[in-house]
């Protein structure tokens, strides 16, 4: 029994079981592999190769540092501040992508008809199609054309290049393709016209815009397209459109500021002209002469005070403009006032903050909408700053008015001292004072106008192109290696799933591993299915696989010490038809071939079959002996198969076989046979229908339990250990019988697949 347990343990540790379980289905694996690889090849041939285009730009991000010099920043007073995160959304906006679609006419693609698939003729078409974007153009699925002699032929009608022409597909213009590469194959060309929105959505989904890293303000733009030239054009056009939008925004702000300054200059200039005209008329009318020394001193003092008053008036005017701008409901629609002349840094910073927030709101509205949380947050910030600005303006206004009042009082003192001066001189002083004030205001406005003009003239968008778009040399899609690996994995998974599903759905024993999983009784032998259907498969000259398997089983019995003191072997099964009589007969013949005297007993008193297999009929046997009607010598019959093989038939079928077996004579029969024979093989009825095997097994030394492939129900093996505890079988061991070819192969069986000439199995026995 120790040897049997070792055999079972060794077999459970055999890692080749699962592999051998799948090997018979190798044709299925091969066919699915071929089909999968063929499908992968067809996919690769039909899928358009795609290339990756990549570009990089640098954003002047105030949060991540700027490369712009302080001198340039001082001149550039108009450009709004930017952040990388916001600019990424602007670049991906439909507004800019729409600009690219219309610029490159991507909603009117030209295609080249092919075998597996049609492909883009972005570089193989001699012309490009330009629809009339100002009018609705009908959608076109396929419009075939030919380009000959500098004209486009559609439906046998020639259309010239670079002119708007009326076609069956609407108003179109045909122009030469700057990317054209002559295609010698000359495949049919056709153009399509689709909705621009679909082209915009397609590019928006394909393009990838992201920051190079968290600390950098460099933005990476990536696009995968089947035509590398088109991918590069899309990215370059998108960058150009983005830069142009920045320039346009900057120029719009500069234009608004210049308009405001021009209006103020016109007003101040008119006032200066009026003062100069008044001065000239007064001098001509009064014949005014040089002013006295006292008058000069007064004029100098008053002039200084008046200049200060003028600056105060200018500051008050600026404060009024800022106050009006801040109090307006929608500051975005007004002209941004200048804070020039206001010396309070707090007010300047607050106005700058409101200005920057308003620009950011306008930028976000273009891409997200008015209800975006970022827009709402920025508007809330503006509303919080607005009262602070108004309070600051009021405080400064009161301070300026107080200062102005003091200056006016001082000038009054000076004026009272000139009461004795001629009226003419006094009037001239007043006129000069007005002229000085207006002249200062005019000079200040001219300075701000020049500063704004410098920003307006500059075409710097505030971003730098690090890398223009460049495409990969080799396609990045489809990945042939990955697709072929996926095809192999698909074939492997489907094949294994099919095999495991097929095997798991059966309710009968299919594998030796099933036996080991259902019962602790070890398997000591495996017999393949015999195609000859002959009951006798072993002889002196038989070298078939099943004959060698019986010889191997015989060797196993020798290692189990069967043949000396242990001679009796009972052979049974769970149900009828599992081949117990076949195994008992050929095992007995195999033992007889070694020169041992073997007795083969047909103890299946319910349905005896050994007499038919040995072709021995009409003989009295066990029934008559157990009834006491005849002696032992009368039931022992020689066989024509081998001189060492003797047969005891069942005899006449009794009415109560079980009661006859239990009448107490059977032990005496075995004792007498022990004296004469070297081996006693007993074929008994299956344990499922009757209990004869449980009665005779205690009288024997070894019980061979036959399990037949694809025949024995698994439920019988599941109950075998439990039944063996209640009705113990002596030293039970299983023989796996009828192992047939499985799957689609011709050389693999169900169990472990031992073949003739393999000594591994015998080595395990010897080691035990």
For residue 748, name the pLDDT band (cuts at 50, 70, 90): very low
Sort residue 749 into left (φ over 0), alpha (ψ -120 to 50) or beta. beta
- For 225, the token pair is 């397209």
Domain boundaries, the chain: 108-194, 251-466, 533-734
Q: Residue 457: pLDDT above 80? A: no
687 within 8 A of 573, measured Cβ to Cβ:
yes
Phi, psi angle pair for 147, to nearest 5°: -115, 110
- For 645, the token pair is 């093989």
Q: Which pLDDT score, from 0 to 100, does residue 736 have?
A: 92
Count of CB atoms situated within 10 Å of the CB of 445: 23
Q: Which pLDDT score, from 0 to 100, does residue 381 have?
A: 78
Q: Which residues pair with 528 in a beta bridge?
A: 739
Q: Residue 746: pLDDT above 90? A: no
Kindly calculate the radius of gyration of the chain based on its CA atoms and give it in whole angstroms.
54
State the average pLDDT over residues 358-374. 74
Q: Residue 493: pLDDT above 70? A: yes
| CATH class of domain segment(s) 533-734 | alpha beta
Q: What is the DSSP string of 113-149?
A: --SS--EE-TTT-SEEEEE-TTS----EEEEEEEEET
Tell me the pLDDT tens digit for each residue of 200-236: 999 999 899 988 887 778 899 999 888 889 889 999 9
CA-nearest of 385, 226, 406 to 309 is: 406
Q: Which pLDDT score, from 0 to 100, does residue 734 have?
A: 92
For residue 250, name the pLDDT band (cuts at 50, 70, 90): confident
Helix (H) or strand (E) holding 357: helix 345-367
Of residues 320 and 576, which shows the higher confidence score? Answer: 576
Q: Which pLDDT score, from 0 to 100, does residue 768 have?
A: 29
526 within 8 A of 739, measured Cβ to Cβ:
yes
Distance from the Cα of residue 176 to its chain's centroid: 41
Compute CA distances 85 → 62, 78, 176, 363, 466, whole Å.
12, 21, 39, 12, 18
State the average pLDDT over residues 686-706. 90
Q: Residue 682: pLDDT above 90? A: yes
State the average pLDDT over residues 587-615. 91
28 within 8 A of 495, measured Cβ to Cβ:
yes
Q: Which residues pair with 131 in a beta bridge?
A: 172
CA-nearest of 712, 660, 651, 652 to 687 is: 712
Contacts of 723 (CB under 8 A, 6+ apart): 687
Q: Which pLDDT score, from 0 to 100, does residue 601 have?
A: 94
Contacts of 103 (CB under 8 A, 6+ apart): 237, 241
- Average pLDDT value over all residues in the chain: 79
State the average pLDDT over residues 582-610. 92
State the average pLDDT over residues 139-159. 89
End-to-end CA distance of the chain: 10
Q: Residue 370: pLDDT above 90? A: no
Q: Which residues pair with 166 in a beta bridge?
A: 171
Contacts of 464 (CB under 8 A, 6+ apart): 57, 58, 60, 67
Q: Which residues pair with 648 in a beta bridge?
A: 601
Whether omega before 478 lies within 30 degrees of 0, making that bond cis, reads yes
Q: Residue 625: pLDDT above 80? A: yes
State the average pLDDT over residues 56-84. 60
Of the listed ranges 65-79, 171-185, 563-577, the least confidently predicted one is: 65-79
Distance CA 139, CA 57 (A): 36
Q: Which pLDDT score, from 0 to 100, does residue 78 have?
A: 54
CA-nearest of 303, 518, 507 to 410 is: 303
CA angle 705, 708, 711 (to 5 degrees): 130
Q: Residue 513: pLDDT above 50? A: yes
Tell me the pLDDT tens digit for each residue of 1-25: 444 454 444 444 444 445 556 666 7
Q: Residue 134: pLDDT above 80? A: no
User: How would you class 214 by CB atoms within 10 Å of its CB: exposed for 0-12, middle for 13-18, buried for 19 or more?
Assistant: exposed
What percentage of the chain reaches a pLDDT higher than 70? 81
110 within 8 A of 179, measured Cβ to Cβ:
no
Q: Which residues pair with 477 in a beta bridge?
A: 50
CA angle 112, 113, 116 (to 5 degrees): 120
CA-nearest of 552, 637, 551, 532 to 589 is: 551
Q: Which pLDDT score, from 0 to 100, does residue 375 have?
A: 74
Residue that the structure tokens 């079980």 belong to: 658
Q: Which pLDDT score, from 0 to 100, does residue 362 have?
A: 74
575 within 8 A of 686, measured Cβ to Cβ:
yes
Specify the DSSP class assigned to residue 50: B
568 within 8 A of 713, measured Cβ to Cβ:
no
Q: Which pLDDT score, from 0 to 100, does residue 6 have?
A: 47
State the average pLDDT over residues 423-445. 77
State the average pLDDT over residues 493-505. 77
399 within 8 A of 343, measured Cβ to Cβ:
no
Specify the DSSP class assigned to residue 709: T
State the average pLDDT over residues 302-319. 76
Helices (H), 560-665: 580-592, 610-614, 622-626, 632-635, 657-661
């Amino acid at each position: 029994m120790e040897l049997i347990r070792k055999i079972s343990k060794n077999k459970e540790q055999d890692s080749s079981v699962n592999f051998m379980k799948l090997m018979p289905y190798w044709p299925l694996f091969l066919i699915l592999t071929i089909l999968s690889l063929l499908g992968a090849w067809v996919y690769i041939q039909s899928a358009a190769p795609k290339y990756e285009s990549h570009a990089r730009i640098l954003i002047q991000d105030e949060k991540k540092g700027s490369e712009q010099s302080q001198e340039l920043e001082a001149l550039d007073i108009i450009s709004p501040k930017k952040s990388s995160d916001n600019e990424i959304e602007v670049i991906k906006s439909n507004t800019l992508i729409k600009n690219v679609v219309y610029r490159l006419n991507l909603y009117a693609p030209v295609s080249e008809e092919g075998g597996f698939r049609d492909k883009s003729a972005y570089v193989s078409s001699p012309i490009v199609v330009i629809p009339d974007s100002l009018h609705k153009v009908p959608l076109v699925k396929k419009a075939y054309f030919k380009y000959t002699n500098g004209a486009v032929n559609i439906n046998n009608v020639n259309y010239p290049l670079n002119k708007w022409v009326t076609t069956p597909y609407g108003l179109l213009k045909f122009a030469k393709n700057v990317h054209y590469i002559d295609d010698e194959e000359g495949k049919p060309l056709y153009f399509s016209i689709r909705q621009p929105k679909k082209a915009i959505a397609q590019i928006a989904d394909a393009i990838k815009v992201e920051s190079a890293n968290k600390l950098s303000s460099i933005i990476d733009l990536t696009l995968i397209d089947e035509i590398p030239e088109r991918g590069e054009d899309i990215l370059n056009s998108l960058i150009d459109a983005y830069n142009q939008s920045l320039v346009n925004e900057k120029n719009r702000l500069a234009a608004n500021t210049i308009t405001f300054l021009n209006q103020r200059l016109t007003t101040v200039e008119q006032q200066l002209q009026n003062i100069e005209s008044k001065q000239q008329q007064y001098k001509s009318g009064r014949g005014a002469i040089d002013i006295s020394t006292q008058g000069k001193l007064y004029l100098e003092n008053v002039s200084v005070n008046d200049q200060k008053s003028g600056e105060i008036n200018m500051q008050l005017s600026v404060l009024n403009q800022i106050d009006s701008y801040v109090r307006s409901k929608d500051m975005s629609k007004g002209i941004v006032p200048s804070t020039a002349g206001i010396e309070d840094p707090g007010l300047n910073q607050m106005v700058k903050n409101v200005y920057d927030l308003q620009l950011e709101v306008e930028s976000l509205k273009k891409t997200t909408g008015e209800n975006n949380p970022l827009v709402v947050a920025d508007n809330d910030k503006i509303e919080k700053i607005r009262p602070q600005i108004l309070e600051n303006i009021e405080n400064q206004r009161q301070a300026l008015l107080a200062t102005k009042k003091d200056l006016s009082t001082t000038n009054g003192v000076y004026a009272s001292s000139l009461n004795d001066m001629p009226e003419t001189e006094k009037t001239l002083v007043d006129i000069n004072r007005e002229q000085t004030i207006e002249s200062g205001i005019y000079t200040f406005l001219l300075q701000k106008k020049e500063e704004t003009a410098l920003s307006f003239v500059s075409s710097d968008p505030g971003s730098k192109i690090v890398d223009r778009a460049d495409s990969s040399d080799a396609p990045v899609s489809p990945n042939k290696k990955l697709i072929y690996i996926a095809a192999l994995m698909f074939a492997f998974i489907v094949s294994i799933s099919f095999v495991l599903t097929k095997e798991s759905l059966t309710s009968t024993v299919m594998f030796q591993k099933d036996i080991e999983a259902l019962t602790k009784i070890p398997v000591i032998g495996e017999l393949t299915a015999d195609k000859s259907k002959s009951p006798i498969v072993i002889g002196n000259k038989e070298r078939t696989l099943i004959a060698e398997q019986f010889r191997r089983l015989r060797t196993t019995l020798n290692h189990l010490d069967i043949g000396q003191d242990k001679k009796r072997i009972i052979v049974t099964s769970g149900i009828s038809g599992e081949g117990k009589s076949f195994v008992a007969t050929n095992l007995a013949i195999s033992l007889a071939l070694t020169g041992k005297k073997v007795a083969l007993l047909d103890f299946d008193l319910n349905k005896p079959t050994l007499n038919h297999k040995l072709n021995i009929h009409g003989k009295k046997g066990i029934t008559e002996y157990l009834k006491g009607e005849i002696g032992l010598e009368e039931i022992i019959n020689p066989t024509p198969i081998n001189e060492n093989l003797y047969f005891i038939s069942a005899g006449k079928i009794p009415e109560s076989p079980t009661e006859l077996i239990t009448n107490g004579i059977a032990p005496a029969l075995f004792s007498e046979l022990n004296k004469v024979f070297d081996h006693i093989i007993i074929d008994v009825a299956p344990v499922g229908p009757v209990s004869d095997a449980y009665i005779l097994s205690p009288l024997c030394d070894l019980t061979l339990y036959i399990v037949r492939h694809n025949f024995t129900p698994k439920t019988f093996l599941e109950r075998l250990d439990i039944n063996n505890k209640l009705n113990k079988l002596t030293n039970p061991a299983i023989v796996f019988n009828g192992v047939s070819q499985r799957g689609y192969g011709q050389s693999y069986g169900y169990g472990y697949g031992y073949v003739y000439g393999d000594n591994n199995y015998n080595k395990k026995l010897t080691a035990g």
